[in-house]
Structure 1
Amino acid sequence: MKVSGELRDFMARLGHDFAHPELLVRALTHGSVASPTRPDNQRLEFLGDRVLGLTIAEALFEADKSASEGQLAPRYNTLVRGETCAEIARELNLGAVLKLGRSEMMSGGRRKEALLADAMEAVLAAIYLDAGFETARRVILRLWTDRLNSVEEDARDAKTALQEWAQAQGMTPPTYAVTGRTGPDHAPEFQITVTLDDGRNAVATGKGTKRSIEQLAATELLKKLG
């Protein structure tokens, strides 16, 4: 199939020249523009999540041979979560080549965290189907390399620290609730309240994903706890 200059530029940023570019087109096709003859990227997203997961799990396993499962799990979660996939997608300017329906485009779909994360996973699956696991693995390790190198620090997040503190006090894990939301769908502002068993709580407000604001709320409560 004929490949546009825009897709050629994206392949260069991605670091993989597709032998079967129709796989990449499918990976970039959102459900809002899909049709019986133009399938969306959901099946590829499912596969890409597994390709990413195996690659990251293996990389972490090999990088720190003394780490326990309890140490590896939060590092793994940090690297494969939707926020990280969306960050990688933004670095590649993936949003510029997403194929969206008009309503999705008008609502800021090219910037939506979930759409970018899903498409990033679908692109990884497309590479896997186009050239095999080793090629997909090399692309992933190159794109994720900075995060792999800093993951031990990144994985020590406030939510984990707060949960560990609560458990040490004999409490159940803290609860997080959305107590306010403003702004458009593509750039929401959340108010999150985190509460402990004994009623102590903290509130944080900000733009971004709910998880990122939960981290801020956990940080605020940790400060209160000293």
Structure 2
Amino acid sequence: MAGARLVLMRHGQSLGNEANLFTGWNDLDLSACGHEEARRAGRLMRAHGLRFDAAHCSMLRRAIHTLHHCLDGLDQPWLPEHKSWRLNERHYGALQGLNREDTIARYGQEQVQQWRRGFAVIPPEVEPDSPHHPGNDPRYAMIPDADLPRAESLAMTLERVRPYWQDTLLPDLRRGRSLLVVTHGTVMRALISHLDGLSPEETQTLEIPTGTPLVYGVNEAGTVKQMGHL
């Protein structure tokens, strides 16, 4: 397929992944393994001859630092960067910061699995005075309070991400501009679901590896075709 390239990538392993936490919008950095995964991804994209016109990522440091490692590996550290809360990980509400095994011990395997992967299942909401409420974080001060999540399902994450695809990413791709998007596991599920036309059942079972570029081709008509992981 002639035209632009879109590369979607989940950040490298985070400290939250390493500790088996519900991380969500909790702003944890990459683990030592995650830093290396990100550097390796940048070198891999360069070896495959990928070049980009702009880069996009979330407002969370594990995605930002992954992007910077990738840009160094690509020898494109000067590339324009765009950060958006719409590319943030799913907000896990009151589960954020909790260890998954401890949560299973408290609520049971079935309930926790529903919170994690149920397409429309919403975890318990975070309280307004919690440090995990995005309204208490200055980086989100310009976002209307009504738009800030207190907890999200996978379906809600898809609705949050879709406008960014439609209004920001797709117009650039149609103009032939290739884009690198570094984001999070649930946002990857949402984007892949939208681009590949997956059902809710297919979407909630997607496994997204850390630090692994997924390449799409996009033509001038906006037709998107998955070309696979590098």
Identify whether the pair has TM-score above 0.5, normalized to the shorter chain: no
Higher helix proportion: 1
TM (normalized to structure 1)? 0.26
Q: Who wins on radius of gyration, i.e. which is larger?
A: 1
